[in-house]
A and B are shown apart, each in its own frame.
Chain A
C-alpha cells in the first residue's frame, strides 16, 4: 500500500508568518491529494482537494501545490484561528490513507 508521510510533525510560528507543511506519498498519486484541518475538539474539515483546489468556503490564505509524490500546504499569513492539526490524504484508490498529521501552534 502507498504510505503518506508529513513534515514537520509539529511547528510553532508567529501570527502573520508564512507556514509550509509537506506531504509525501511513497508512490505517485497524480493530483489525488486532499488536505484537512482539525481544530482541537472539532470535526475535521476539508480544505483542499485535487492538490490545489480550495473547498467551498475556505479562505484564500490557504493554498496547495504539488503532484506525483510531493505536495505542500501553505498558509500565507498564520492567524490564531489556524491553530489545528493538518492532515494530508490520498484518494486515488483504496485504501484512502491519511498522513500522520502536523500540529500547528502560535508562538
Chain B
C-alpha cells in the first residue's frame, strides 16, 4: 500500500526539541518532492519545509534556523528536527508529497500533533 505515516509528536516544553518522522511505503522519499505542512488548532494550513528530490531544502521564515528537514534513503523516511520550540509551533504536522512539482502536495499523511506548553 502506498502511504506515509507520521510519528514523533507529543508534548514538549518551550525551548525544547522534537524530531518528527514520516515513514514511507510504496514509494521512494528520495524520488519525490517531500514536505511538511502544519495546522494550528482551529487555523489554516501553513507550509513549513520542503526537500526536493535533488536534495535542496527550503523553510518558511517562521521556522528557519530552528527546524531541519532531512531524509534517510535506507529507511525510506523523512524527518523534521524541531529545536527551540515555541508555543506558536503547536499544531498538527502533516507529511505530504508529490512527484510532479516541489510544493505541490497530492498525497498526505494523517498528521501528528505537537503541543508546546509548560
A residues with a Cβ closer than 8 A to B are 1, 32, 34, 36, 38, 43-46, 49, 55-56, 85, 87, 89-101
Instruction: Name the distance in Å between B44's Cβ and chain A's nearest Cβ.
Output: 5
Q: Give B35-78 interface residues, CB cut-off 8 Å to A.
A: 35, 37, 44-47, 50, 58, 60-61
Q: Are A44 and B50 in contact (CB under 8 A)?
A: no
- The reply to whether A46 and B103 form a contact with Cβ atoms under 8 Å apart is no
Bound form: Cα–Cα A100–B61 in Å: 17
Contact yes or no, A101 B44, CB < 8 A: yes
Chain B residue with the shortest CB-CB distance to A96: B103
B106 touching A98 by the CB < 8 A rule?
no
Total interface residues on B, CB under 8 Å, equals: 24
Closest chain B CB from A48 CB (angstroms)? 11
Alpha-carbon separation in the docked complex, A49 to B69 (Å): 25
Q: Which chain A residues border B60 with CB–CB below 8 Å?
A: 95
Note all chain B residues with C-beta closer than 8 A to A92. 103
Cα A90 to Cα B50 with chains together (Å) = 14
Please tell me which stretch of B14-22, B24-32, B82-90, B94-102 contacts chain A, meaning at least 4 of its Cβ atoms lie within 8 angstroms of it.
B94-102
User: Could you tell me if A32 and B101 are in contact, using CB atoms closer than 8 angstroms?
Assistant: yes
Report which of B44, B47, B61, B100 forms a contact with A96, defined as CB distance below 8 A. B47
- 8 further A-B contacts with Cβ under 8 Å, apart from A95-B47, A95-B58, A101-B45, are A43-B109, A44-B37, A46-B104, A91-B103, A92-B103, A96-B35, A96-B102, A100-B44
